[in-house]
Amino acid sequence: MTSFLTLFLAVVLLGPEPPRRFEPQPMAPVLPPDVAQLREQLYNRQDAPAQSQAALMLLQSLSPDAAEVVREGLRRWDRPDVFVALASAIRMTRDRRFTEPLLKAIQAEQSSLRLAAAEALARSDSDLVLHRLLGIAEDPQASIPARQAAALALGKSGQKNAMPALLSLLSSDLPAIRQSAATALEELTGLDYGHNISAWQEWWSNHKDLSEIEWLLSRNALFLDRSRRLQNDLQRAEAEILRLHQQLYARTPRADRVNHFRQLAQNEYASVRVQAIAWIVETLSDANSSELKPLADLLLAFSEDGVEAVQRQAVLALEKIDDPRAFERLLTLLHSNSLEVRAAAARSLGRYRCPQSVSRAEMNSRAVKALEKALSDPSLVVVAEAVESLGSLGVPEAAPIITGLLRHPADPVRQAAARALEQVADPASLPALTTALDDPVPGVRFHVVGALARLGQSEALDTPRRQELIRRLEQVLVRDGDPGVRSRAATVLGDLGSAAQLPLLWQRVTATEDSRVQVKAWGAFVDILSRSGSWTLISQWDQNLSAQQEHARRAELLNEIRTRWLKNESTRSHVDTVTAALIQALLVQKKWNQASPFIVDLARKASNDSELQRRLQWLVIAASHAVDDGKPQEALRLLREVEDLLPRVGADLGSEIDAVRQRASRMLGPS
């Protein structure tokens, strides 16, 4: 664990400064900071983040009182926490006003003070400071730890002028100083020549003529490579820690998991806390009544986590708990400083599970008002999530709000509005939706078509407007420039259309068209014919497909209609008629193997000899195709299946059957 923390510290020190999550907005008038209050925060050892913030604000202040508080804190070696906070702030700001107390701290007995002072002095970029550090490192009267800290600061400075100083220390009489100098040289150059003075001098002779800019560029590249390596090491270490926690969780008894989650909530690694939230969500599905409140408490606590990724994951999970506190928390987080958290809150608010003890109507009303306010958020991500949540609520009052956003200037917002209207569109939305069919963004048009599908199925839409809606969808199917939009229009026409749309759909199936559109148009074509329940209409199109030599599609159509009509009581009486047409379509393609079971079934259902004669004629054709395909055994097997029906057939058909049987037998040869 110690080595891992050392690795983490190295990443922090060598890597780029972390971006600030929140930039406080200046207020007018700007008031000077309260130095006394900042001093109190600085000395509050119970709140380390507040100490660091107070130290930074004191250094940024131009007040002489603030500078005096800093000097006082740097003299308080009995308060290492205060000193380290101030030294870290000095390192970040590169403030040179406090060089003297830092140089004195290099000689302190506490290692934490020496290390913090060395880090701060290394960032001073001052030749005078480098000279003073070299003086300490070479001073035989100084303590060994002080001289080592000074050498460390020289190595971390990254300055070209530190190189000769460290080379001179490499010749020290003291092994500890030589070791510190070698370590500092490795820190400065990235090379590991150890105590080999000649190797170091040779390297320096090849680099000492570099300009300051060339030197700094080479050192910057070194530190960036080192930072990336350490970051990768840190990520691998965290992944291993997460894997171990997963193994531990798998072995944790179900009854102990709530307590285990409480422990994970205090874990120092954000990835582990994120995983804990996922486990809590899984547990909610089968949690008993006594576990629900503790799990809700944990998710609410996670929603206040200091790491944005953890907080966001917790906010997304709040929609899973039917606790009124979660709803109130989501309303509060809509005003969070974090964009990601606001977006997550907006998303969860529309999917929140309302508890039975709370009025759903009242909660929906509050959610709509809160989400409507979120539409003015400066982030389009938050606005888009708010729009989709308004749709997820599924309440009528959300429809006009969302409809108005179809004219929003931002593409993501219009697309979110169109997607939301798929859930809440009402007849009043129709004019805006038909206008949005001309939107330049295909994603918007795609979801607008879906919203029109919802309207077309609504009983509130009268016949003239429904017909106009279908007409506009026909235009989309033919004219829209995006195949995804055209294919969805075909699907919707299949849901809403009638026989009048069949010619257009068939035209799109056979046209030079994107395959997605052809597939969806064919599916819509089949849907309408199947839904019609009219054998007359199907027979008409069966003849059309046969005339156009579309035998494969003809068989596919009849087979699909037969399958669907078998499941419907009102159309089951027409199944045999469809089956007869299907048999003929299959035989035209010589697919005797597929047609045979249907033929045998219909033959046994024949109500009279004339009908039996016609159906067995198909059997003869199927058996002949089997012989032609080199399958005489299959032909004979097929004839044997109807052998008990053969006495009822006429002489002519009997002769044909005998002829097929003889052909098959000759192919098999003498048994």
Q: What is the pLDDT of residues 58-117, one digit of tens each?
A: 988 888 899 999 999 999 999 999 999 999 999 888 888 898 999 899 988 899 999 999
CA distance 368 to 502: 42
Look at 31-35, 390-394, 537-541 and tell me which has the smallest mean pLDDT: 31-35
Reference 596, options 560, 624, 574; nearest CA is 624
Q: Which residue has 């009486």 as its token pair? A: 573
SS3 363: helix
**For the segment 482-491, what is each residue's pLDDT rounded down to a tens digit?**
999 999 999 9
Mean pLDDT score, 623-645: 89
Task: Indicate the angle between helix axes 515-532 and 483-496, nearest 10 degrees.
Answer: 0
Confidence at residue 15, expressed as pLDDT on a 0 to 100 scale = 43
Confidence at residue 259, expressed as pLDDT on a 0 to 100 scale = 93
Most confident region among 109-123, 229-243, 546-560 by mean pLDDT: 546-560
Confidence at residue 32, expressed as pLDDT on a 0 to 100 scale = 54
Residues 6+ apart with CB under 8 A from 638: 596, 600, 619, 622, 623, 626
629 Rama sector, left if φ>0, alpha if ψ -120 to 50, beta otherwise:
alpha
CATH code assigned to 2-17+30-231: 1.25.10.10
Quickly count: other Cβ atoms within 10 Å of residue 607's Cβ.
Answer: 8
Q: How confident is the model at residue 24 (pLDDT cuts 50, 70, 90)?
A: very low
Please, is 295 exposed, middle or buried when counting C-beta atoms within 10 Å of its C-beta (0-12, 13-18, 19+)?
A: buried
**For the segment 123-174, what is each residue's pLDDT rounded down to a tens digit?**
887 878 888 888 888 888 889 999 999 888 888 888 888 888 888 888 888 8
CA distance 445 to 168: 74
**Are the beta carbons of 57 and 38 closer than 8 angstroms?**
yes
Q: Which residue has 């944790």 as its token pair? A: 252
Compute the mean pLDDT over every residue in the chain, rounded to the nearest whole number.
88
Reference 402, options 432, 364, 435; nearest CA is 432
Residue 206 parent element (H or E): helix 197-207
Q: How confident is the model at residue 671 (pLDDT cuts 50, 70, 90)?
A: low
Q: Where are the alpha helices (DSSP H) in 47-126?
A: 48-60, 64-75, 80-93, 99-105, 111-122
Q: Look up the pTM and report it.
A: 0.67
Report domain extents, the chain. Answer: 2-17+30-231, 252-395, 590-671
Q: How confident is the model at residue 357 (pLDDT cuts 50, 70, 90)?
A: low
Confidence at residue 3, expressed as pLDDT on a 0 to 100 scale = 44
Q: How confident is the model at residue 591 (pLDDT cuts 50, 70, 90)?
A: very high
**For the segment 508-531, what is each residue's pLDDT rounded down to a tens digit?**
999 999 999 999 999 999 999 999
Confidence at residue 137, expressed as pLDDT on a 0 to 100 scale = 86
Mean pLDDT score, 263-269: 91
Confidence at residue 223, expressed as pLDDT on a 0 to 100 scale = 76
Quickly count: other Cβ atoms within 10 Å of residue 239's Cβ.
Answer: 11
- Whether 404 has a pLDDT exceeding 80, the answer reads yes
Question: Is it true that 2-17+30-231 and 252-395 share their CATH fold?
Answer: yes
Of all residues in the chain, the percent with pLDDT exceeding 70 is 94
- Whether 2 has a pLDDT exceeding 50, the answer reads no
CA distance 611 to 593: 22
Residues 6+ apart with CB under 8 A from 54: 38, 39, 41, 42, 85
Q: How confident is the model at residue 23 (pLDDT cuts 50, 70, 90)?
A: very low
Quickly count: other Cβ atoms within 10 Å of residue 43's Cβ.
Answer: 16
Look at 152-166, 463-477, 524-538, 574-588 and tell me which has the smallest mean pLDDT: 152-166
CATH code assigned to 252-395: 1.25.10.10
Quickly count: other Cβ atoms within 10 Å of residue 496's Cβ.
Answer: 19
